Amino acid sequence: MAAKPRRRRLAKFFGQRPDPRASTNMQLAPRRLEPRRMLDAAAGALALEMFDASSEFVQAGSDFAPLALSTNEAAAGANSSPANIQIQPMASIDENGVATLELVFEDADPLDSHTVEVDWGDGPVEVFNVPAGSQFFGTTHQYMDDDPSVTSSDVYTVNVKVIDAAGDFAEASAPLTVNNVAPSNLQIAPPAPIDEDGVGTLELTFDDLGSLDSHTVEVDWGDGSAIEVFNVPQGSRFFGTTHQYLDDDPTGTSADDYTINVRVLDDDGGVIAGSATINVGNIAPSNVQVAPMSSIDENGLAKLNLTFDDPGTLDSHKIEVDWGDGTVETLNVAPGSRAFSASHQYLDDDPTGTSSDSYAVQVRLLDDDLGEVEVDPVSVTVNNVAPSAVMIDPLAPIDENGVAVLNLAFTDPGTLDAHMVEIDWGDGSPLEVLPVAAGARVLSANHQYLDDNPTGTASDSYSIKVRLLDDDLGAFIADAVVLTVNNVAPANVQVLPTVTTSNEGALVNLTLTFDDPGSLDTHTYEVDWGDGTTATVGAAVGHSIAASHTYADDGAYTVKVKILDDDGGVGTATATVNVANLAPTLTVVGNPTVSEGSQLSLTNIGSFTDPGFDNLLNVLDPVNGGEKLETFTYTINWGDGTANSAGSATIDVMVGVGTPTSGSFDGQHTYADDGVYTVAVTVFDDDGGQDQRTFQVTVSNVAPTLTVVGNQSVDEGSQLSLTNIGSFTDPGFNNPLNPLPG
C-alpha cells in the first residue's frame, strides 16, 4: 500500500488491566522497543512513532495472566523508513590514522536507494550513495588530529543518517577514539664547541604523525638561564636557534660541557625529549697593563693599578700580588670590572742597613676557570724614615743605690723597623745599648746608681745622654736629661746585743751592724763607751764591726755608736752595758801558833786581787755611779769574841786593763787564853763585794810563874799565918766574851 512518511500508528490493548507484578517489557518481534516508543499500560496503548507501511511487527507479551489483545491500525499509503541502523563498533585510531565505518540498516522496501550522511565530528558532513537494494555501508576517514588540543586522546561522535529516496531516514551514532601520537625521532645536531661569551647553535628535527598538531620546543641550555620556549612553524618538523654562553661553568675548569635538554611538545601533551652537549671553552684574561708605581716612605701605601681584557663576561677574577716583602695577597676583582686597584702598606724598607730599598711586585691574574696571565714585575722604592721626636720624661731624684727609670717615647713611621737606644748614664758605667721591642715606640730603661759621686756631697747630678737608631741608618740624638742622686745616711744601726751584762775588768765584745744603700760608700765608726775613756774609732769593712772594751768598775754604761759614710751621712745607735762588780779574791796566812797573852802580829794577814781598777776619767755619766777609784777595806774576826779589827787595805798593784788590782793588810791581836781560835778575815771592795777566808790560831797556855815567901819558922801547934804565901803571874787574862768553853 502506498505510505506517507512519518505516519503515527497506535496499537491499543483491550482486556484486563495488567497485573502490576507482570513484566511490561513488550517487544516488537524480533526487536526490542525503540527509543521514544511508549507503552502506556494504564491506557492500554502502545504508541509507535514513524512506523512505515512496510514495517512488520509482532506484538507479544506476557504478564503471567490472561490478556486479550487487539490491534487497531490505521495506515494509508505509508513509506517504510530506513530503520535499525547497526554501526559496527569502531576501533580507536591514532591521529592521522584512518577510521573505518561499517554499518547495516533495514528498509522494508528492498529496492529503495539510499544515501548515507556521515558527520565525522571533525569537519564537513560527507554524503555517500548506497547502491540500490544494499543495506550495508562502509567507508573510511582520516583523522588528522585528535581534537580539541591538550588532551592525549579525544572521542569523536560519528553521526550517521541513512536516507531513503522518499526522504525518510534513520539516524545512529557511534563513538570513535582518536589518540594523540607524541612527536618522535628527535634528532639534535651536535653543537659545535664555542668559547665563553660565544653563541652556540641548536638545530633539530623530529617527526609527528599529527599533521595538524602545533609544536613548541622547550630548551634548557644547561647554564642556569631560564628555560626558553619556542613555537615551531605550523607543519614544520625542523627547529633551529642560538644561545650565548657567557661563561664556561662550573668554575675551576678550562672548558665545560653543558647539557642542552630539549623537549618537543605537541598541542595534545605529547612530548619527546632529547639532549645534546655543547663544549664551552674558557679564554684566559689578556692585555694586562700595570701602571708604574711611585716611590713611598716606609709605612706608606703603594698603589697598584692595572687593566685587562677577558671576553668571559661572567668570569670572576682574582689578582695574586706578591708585594715582594713576604706578603702575598689574593684579591678579588669587582664582578664585571676589567680594572683593578690595590694598596699595600710597606711597613719597612728592607733589607736592614740601607736608607731605601726596591721591591719587585709580581702580579698574576686568574679567572675562575684556570685561565691566568703573569705580567712582568713592577718596581716600587721604599725609603727609610729616621726616628724622630724623642721625648724623655723628667727624671725624679733618687737615692744612692736606687734605680732610675728612664721613660722615652719616639715616632717612626717604619712600623717594622728595629730600634736600638744608646744610653750614657753619666756615671762612668759602659754605654748601654738596649733594643726596643718590635713595633714599640716607647722604651723604659732602668739603671742603678750605686753612689752619689763625688764623695763628700749630700747629692750629685748626672747628665744622661740618649741616642736612638733604627735598623736602616736612621739616628736621632735627644737632649740630655739630668738626674739627681741623693746620699742616704747609714741606717738601721744596731749594737748587738743591745743590753749586755759583763763584769768589771772583763772584756766586753759588741757587734755593730748597719745598712746603707750606697754600696760604694766607705764608712767609719765611733764608739763612746760611756765611761769617759777615749772613743774607739776605725774604718768599717763591710756592714758588721766588732768592738770591745774593758770597764774598770761596775755600773750601767750607755754605749753610743756613730756610723759615718763618705758623703756626710751619719747613723747612730745606743746600747747598755751593765757591768757587775766582782768581789775581791782573798788569800789569808796559814794557821799560826801563839801563847796566850802574847801578841800575834801577822804581816799580810790577808792579800787579795780584784779585776776592778781606777778610772779617773769616769766623770761624765752619773748613771754609772761616777766612780773613779777602786778602794778596799777589811775586817778581822779573831774568833775570841773581841771586837773585830778593821781598816783600809793597802793597794799594792794598780795597773789597769788586763792586770788585776792586788792589795794586802796586816793584823795584830793578843789572845787572853789558850784555845784554838778560828779567825775570819773579810775583804770588801767599794761596791759591796767581799770575800772571806778563815784560818786557825792555836793559842797555847802558859803556866803561871809562882813566887813563894821565904822560909818561915813557926811553932808547932801554932798557926802559921802567911800573907801572900805565894804570888804568881800568868800571861792569860779574862775574856768574858770568849765563846770557847772553859
Q: What is the pLDDT of residue 120?
A: 96
Q: Which of 9, 155, 158 is nearest to 85 (CA)?
A: 158
Q: What is the pLDDT of residue 416?
A: 84
Task: Spell out a b/e string for 538-569, using b for 16 or more CB atoms within 10 Å of the CB, else e.
Answer: eebeeeebebebbbbbbbebebebbbbbbbeb
Q: Which residues are within 8 A (CB) of 670 and not within 5 positions of it... i.e. 6 or more apart? A: 597, 598, 599, 600
Give the distance, in angstroms, between the CA of residue 177 and the centroid of all CA atoms in the same chain. 79
List the beta strands (DSSP E) in 61-125.
83-87, 93-94, 97-106, 114-119
**Other Cβ atoms closer than 10 A to 274:** 15
Is residue 551 left, alpha or beta, with left meaning phi > 0 and alpha meaning psi from -120 to 50? Answer: beta
Q: What is the pLDDT of residue 199?
A: 96
What counts of helices (H) and strands (E) characterise the chain?
0, 58
**Cα(470)–Cα(468) distance, rounded to whole angstroms?**
7
DSSP-derived secondary structure for 622-645: GGGT------EEEEEE-SSSSPPE
Q: What is the pLDDT of residue 46?
A: 52
- Its sign, for the CA torsion 639, 640, 642, 645, is negative
Q: What is the pLDDT of residue 28?
A: 39
Q: What is the pLDDT of residue 78?
A: 57
- Its sign, for the CA torsion 163, 167, 170, 175, is positive
CATH code assigned to 184-281 = 2.60.40.1940
The label of the residue with cell 509507535 reads 48
Instruction: Specify whether the CB–CB gap between 739 and 640 falls below 8 A.
Output: yes
> Using CB atoms within 10 A of its CB, is residue 231 exposed (0-12), middle (13-18) or buried (19+)?
exposed
CATH code assigned to 491-580 = 2.60.40.10
Q: What is the pLDDT of residue 439?
A: 86
- Beta-bridge partner residues of 98: 142
The label of the residue with cell 669587582 reads 334
Q: What is the CA radius of gyration of the chain?
A: 80
Q: Which CATH superfamily is domain 94-99+108-131+141-179 in?
A: Immunoglobulins (2.60.40.10)
Q: Which of 432, 182, 197, 391 is nearest to 311 (CA)?
A: 197
Q: Which residues are within 8 A (CB) of 734 and not within 5 positions of it... i.e. 6 or more apart? A: 672
Is omega for the bond preceding 250 within 30 degrees of 0, making it cis? yes
Q: What is the pLDDT of residue 722?
A: 87
Q: Which residues are within 8 A (CB) of 494 and not within 5 positions of it... i.e. 6 or more apart? A: 512, 513, 514, 573
Q: What is the pLDDT of residue 5?
A: 38
Q: Is 315 helix (H, G, I), strand (E, B) or coil?
A: coil
Residue 501: phi and psi, rounded to 5, are: -110, 130
DSSP-derived secondary structure for 111-122: T--EEEEEE-SS
Q: Which of 474, 212, 442 is nearest to 354 (CA)?
A: 474
CATH code assigned to 390-486 = 2.60.40.10
Provide the CATH topology of domain 585-700: Immunoglobulin-like (2.60.40)
Q: What is the pLDDT of residue 407?
A: 97
Q: What is the pLDDT of residue 59?
A: 45
User: Helix-strand-coil percent breakdown of the chain, rounded to 5?
Assistant: 0, 50, 45
DSSP-derived secondary structure for 642-693: SPPEEEEPEEEE--BTTB-EEEEEEEEEE-SS-EEEEEEEEEEETTS-EEEE
Provide the CATH topology of domain 286-383: Immunoglobulin-like (2.60.40)
The amino acid present at 323, given as its one-letter code, is: W
Q: What is the pLDDT of residue 13?
A: 36
Domain edges within the chain: 1-80, 94-99+108-131+141-179, 184-281, 286-383, 390-486, 491-580, 585-700
**Cα(358)–Cα(325) distance, rounded to whole angstroms?**
10
Please identify every stretch of the chain with a pLDDT value under 50, giving residue numbers as ranges: 1-45, 47-77
| Fold agreement (286-383, 491-580) | yes
Q: Which of 604, 609, 618 is nearest to 659 (CA)?
A: 609
DSSP-derived secondary structure for 325-367: SS-EEEEEPPTT--EEEEEEEE---SSTT-SEEEEEEEEEEEE
Q: Which of 609, 598, 608 is nearest to 673 (CA)?
A: 598
For the record, the C-alpha cell of 44 comes out as 492500554
Q: Which residues are within 8 A (CB) of 308 and not within 5 positions of it... i.e. 6 or more apart? A: 285, 286, 287, 288, 289, 317, 338, 340, 365, 373
Q: What is the pLDDT of residue 57?
A: 46
